[in-house]
Structure 1
Amino acid sequence: MANYNLTYGKKSQLEFQNEDDLFFTIGFLTKADTFMLKWEHNEQQGAWGSEGRIHVLQMPNNYPAPLKSAHTKGVGKVQFRINCNSFLKLLQDLGFVRNTKSQNLQTIRSNIPPKYKASFDKGCTA
């Protein structure tokens, strides 16, 4: 079974206490109409490259602490953004899809290691 990082980002933007905390947060990110994964092509505006972001469209109750500590200001209908290419890569590897507000929970859950499904499920329903 794979070991998962507990810290993501060049500036350690996302830090998790343990793998159960990580998978709880991943489950939480499946909430429809609350989050959207985006790759912003900033290189088209002169920046060094694309940036993976989680757009927080509305602030949900029981918001996990690792996400709170990683916020940057949102724009327009986006309340906050979480910038972290390496974490978005993990989410995509688990079956998250970019540029949609609704994720396929069954697909994502099928990629969660059995040991962490209970934590993932708790995050989905928190």
Structure 2
Amino acid sequence: MTQLIFGKKNKLIFQDEDHFFKALGFLVASSESNVAKFVLEHNEDQGAWGHECRVRIYSRLDEFKALFANKVTAGVGNCIGRINCNDYLAYLESDFNFNYTGTIVKADVESSIPPQHRNSFDDGYNL
């Protein structure tokens, strides 16, 4: 079964597996089109507990807010929003071939998606 709850405070919660895979498809498409970028911020250098894995959003903020309720925060400059959730991005990397620190390859991610959720992934990818 797919994990649907991530984080400790202000948790990222997906309603069901279809919602999870739709959001994943949208993230892959957003990466390909430079609507979003995935960054590793070394906040431990500034006294924080550790690094933060972030999704920086540059466009399509309404879609991000709809898919990632309660996790989209304000951006800075041309970054119009951010998603902060180390647990979520680590899970995508470990279980869904999601290389957020490099190039995200759609075929690699797709190969990890159970067949019964492929339509949900495609729906998100084609939003």
TM bucket, shorter chain: 0.7 to 0.9
Q: Gaps (5+ residues) in structure 2?
A: none
Q: Which residue of 2 aligns with 1:9?
A: 7
Work out whether residues 53 and 85 of structure 2, in 8 Å CA contact, stay in contact via their aligned partners in 1.
yes
Q: Gaps (5+ residues) in structure 1?
A: none
Residues 29-40 of structure 1 correspond to what in structure 2 (within 5 A)? Answer: 29-31=27-29, 32-40=33-41
The alignment of Structure 1 onto Structure 2 pairs a total of residues equal to 123
SS at match of 1:97: coil
Q: Which residue of 2 aligns with 1:96?
A: 98
Amino acid at match of 1:8: F
TM-score when normalising by structure 1: 0.86
Identity %: 37
Larger helix proportion of the pair: 2
Work out whether residues 72 and 82 of structure 1, in 8 Å CA contact, stay in contact via their aligned partners in 2.
yes
Please state if 1:124 is matched with 2:125.
yes
TM-score when normalising by structure 2: 0.85
The alpha-carbon deviation at position 5 of structure 1 amounts to 1.8
RMSD of the TM alignment (CA)?
Answer: 1.9
Work out whether residues 59 and 79 of structure 1, in 8 Å CA contact, stay in contact via their aligned partners in 2.
no
The alpha-carbon deviation at position 77 of structure 1 amounts to 2.2
The alpha-carbon deviation at position 120 of structure 1 amounts to 0.6
Distance in 2 between residues matched to 1:18 and 1:6, nearest whole Å? 7
Work out whether residues 15 and 66 of structure 1, in 8 Å CA contact, stay in contact via their aligned partners in 2.
no
